[in-house]
A and B are shown apart, each in its own frame.
Chain A
Amino acid sequence: MFDTKTYSSEVNQALCDYLLRLADSSLILGHRLSEWCGHGPILEQDIAMSNLALDLIGQARNWYQLAAQQAGLGQTEDDLAYLRDAPQYRNVLLVEQPNGDFGQTVMRQFLFDAYHYYLLQKLGQSADENIAAIAQKSLKEVTYHLKWSSEWVIRLGDGTEESQRRIQTALNNLWEFTGELSKPDQTDEILHAAGLVPDLRKIQADWQNRVLSVLTEATLQIPTRTWMQKGGKEGIHTEHLGYILAEMQFLQRAYPDCEW
């Protein structure tokens, strides 16, 4: 249980929305990684990806618990995870993209980790103590995630002809989902003004520096296309999210309130 603060209704509504974005992005990426369990390219990396998945699902639980309490509607973390449909999900589009080959999974992870890392670093200084506490705890985990995914991007990019072709293809395919990460909308602006969350434009600069430096070391070509997808933060998703939810929510939908 959190000792939650009381905010104006406008700020509180934005905050609940924002907490769901954090929770949903972690949950969906965690779920995607869990799909690798038993299918990893090598035992050690299979376990590594399961570890990342468990970290992310644990972070999602913390954010959901805080969101549920902050909303004050008597919901639980399970209600939020299992009983909302795709249009109510607020995760960024990047994390719901399919696993593809190992290269695509690694690239998706890296592009998200670099954003996640700087975001959590700043959220760790939030004026809201609950947000700061969850962010500081999560940052320890995500520091390792970013190290793991950066090293794999470099290893595959600067590897064989085939590994480079695959990771470059992944970068080209996923690039259009990166614009949304650091594009502020009204929710971001309201909460930034209240001192609760960072200015996304600052995160964008840090993200870009880190990403360019790793991609350069990996000898990869930065895509020149500048058109970007958006919508995840408002609940407008690619077709992939529905399939994830269908699998993830099946049990609660078929047997409401079941426990085991």
Chain B
Amino acid sequence: MEWPLWEVFIRSKQGLDHKHVGSLHAVDAQMAMENARDVYTRRREGVSIWVVESKYIHASNPDEQESFFDPADDKAYRHPTFYEVPDSITHI
């Protein structure tokens, strides 16, 4: 009998967002949370954990790579690089 697969996301102390760190097996959400704690936060990597059963993740199709992503390649005007930033504005 194979236990369900779960994806693990961890937010580090300085981090603002949860980042995907890997996956693991567990019978339920509670065990997944504890397994994630034991497998992925042994070196104080995180202060918050999210787990989600892998079957609930919907991934983009690699076969659609060209139509999905390539059209964004030549739209340089979408980057905010054409503005003069006034001298008084900092931290940009």
Interface of A with B (CB < 8 Å)? 42-45, 47-48, 51, 147-148, 151, 155
Contacts and interface: CB of A to CB of B under 8 A. Distances in A.
Given A42-B3, A151-B30, A51 B38 contact: yes
Contact of A47 (B26, B30, B31, B39): B39
B25 A42 contact: yes
Q: By CB atoms of chain A within 10 A, which of B24, B25, B38, B39 has the most? A: B38
B45 interface: no
Contacts of A147: 34
B42 interface: yes
A178 to B, nearest CB: 25
Contacts of A43: 24-25, 39
A51 B3 contact: no
Contact of B25 (A44, A48, A51, A155): A44
B35 interface: yes
Given A42-B25, A43-B25, A48 B3 contact: no
A155 B24 CA distance: 19
A43 B39 CA distance: 9
Nearest to B6: A44
A42 B24 CA distance: 10
Size range of the interface on B?
10 to 19
Given A42-B3, A43-B25, A48 B38 contact: yes
A137 B34 CA distance: 20
Interface of B: 3, 24-27, 30-31, 34-35, 38-39, 42
B29 to A, nearest CB: 13
Contacts of A48: 34-35, 38
B35 to A, nearest CB: 4
A44 B38 contact: yes
Given A42-B3, A44-B39, A148-B34, 18 more contacts: A42-B25, A43-B39, A44-B24, A44-B25, A44-B26, A44-B35, A44-B38, A47-B38, A47-B39, A47-B42, A48-B34, A48-B35, A48-B38, A51-B38, A147-B34, A151-B30, A151-B31, A155-B27
A51 B34 contact: no
16 contacts: A42-B3, A42-B25, A43-B25, A43-B39, A44-B24, A44-B26, A44-B39, A45-B35, A47-B38, A48-B34, A48-B35, A147-B34, A148-B34, A151-B31, A151-B34, A155-B27
